[in-house]
Amino acid sequence: MNARKATLVGLIAVLLWSAIVGLIRGVSEYFGATGGAALIYTVASVFLLLTVGPSKVYEFPRRYLLWGSLLFVAYELCLALSIGYANSSRQAIEVGMVNYLWPALTMVFAILFNRQKASWLIIPGFVIAIAGVCWVLGGEQGLEISGMLANVQDNPLSYGLALAGAIIWAVYCTVTARIAEGKNGVTLFFMLVALVLWVKYAAMGGEPMLWSWRSVVYLLLAAAAMGFGYAAWNVGILHGNVTILAGASYFIPVLSALLAALLLSTPLSLAFWQGAGMVCVGSILCWIATRSRARAA
């Protein structure tokens, strides 16, 4: 596959990932938060087995097998359950926006733990990304502390899981860059996520599942977005233009909110879009900060 086609495949991954928030929420409305997530990761695992193939566990460095598995499973649980536990579609979209703090956090962690060089732009970039999330959580009034706190207090579990997920994924990206040694355990990791979710569903008792052609379509679309998104991104990163893909990925928060609003028929205020734009701008500034310093070096 030539670089142009591989880059296009990678861009498809960005589009698929942008649909995840709306699709996960749609599936959870039919199958429940835990049962819906378990079904998504089970079907996605099948898709990954057919595309990426089974993980060659015997080739994995032990540290990557341990920490990669632990961090990946923890993140996906936080992502899926934070959206599924949301009290409304609007809240699910807001929770998804909190999760998209991970690009800015990844850059900060790379500086702290991987000694990544960065310019002064990292500071305003991180501040703008945080302010963007606060702007989103403030509701119709934008950056309003009382409104933001009231919003979070309405469902601290969902917002807490989303923030924990953003931190965990940033740690995963930082750690695996050093210990993976070029290996890709995504198929194994997805299977582990599905297993943990089914254990939770059996142990704690999940919500009833409503099977219909519409719920099955939502399930297949969500699983495809998850599974094929990772597969497509892997192709793009290995054979395409990484700079273009990295730049495109920072627009996922806005694309995600747009697709989720359409899928869930949920209107979003001007203040929300302003906050989402700030998250994107902040993440891009963090990325530029590391890129510009690397070029200078």
CA dist., res. 31 & res. 41, Å (int): 13
CA dist., res. 165 & res. 79, Å (int): 6
Task: Tell me what pLDDT residue 237 has.
Answer: 66
Q: DSSP characters for 224-285?
A: HHHHHHHHHHHHHHHHS-HHHHHHHHTTHHHHHHHHHHHHTT----HHHHHHHHHHHHHHHH
Q: Residues in the chain with pLDDT < 50?
A: 294, 296-297
Which residue type occupies 218?
Y
Which residue type occupies 247?
G
Which residue reads 């495809």 in tokens? 224
CB atoms < 10 A from the CB of 87, how many? Answer: 11
**Looking at the chain, how many residues does it have?**
297
Task: Tell me what pLDDT residue 75 has.
Answer: 94
CB atoms < 10 A from the CB of 6, how many? Answer: 19
Task: Tell me what pLDDT residue 45 has.
Answer: 95
Which residue reads 């906050």 in tokens? 275
Q: How far is CA 242 from CA 36, 60, 246, in A?
A: 33, 24, 6
CA dist., res. 13 & res. 249, Å (int): 9
Furthest-apart CA atoms within the chain: distance in Å: 57
Contacts of 35 (CB under 8 A, 6+ apart): 201, 206, 207, 209
Task: Tell me what pLDDT residue 136 has.
Answer: 82
Pair 128, 282: CB distance under 8 Å: yes
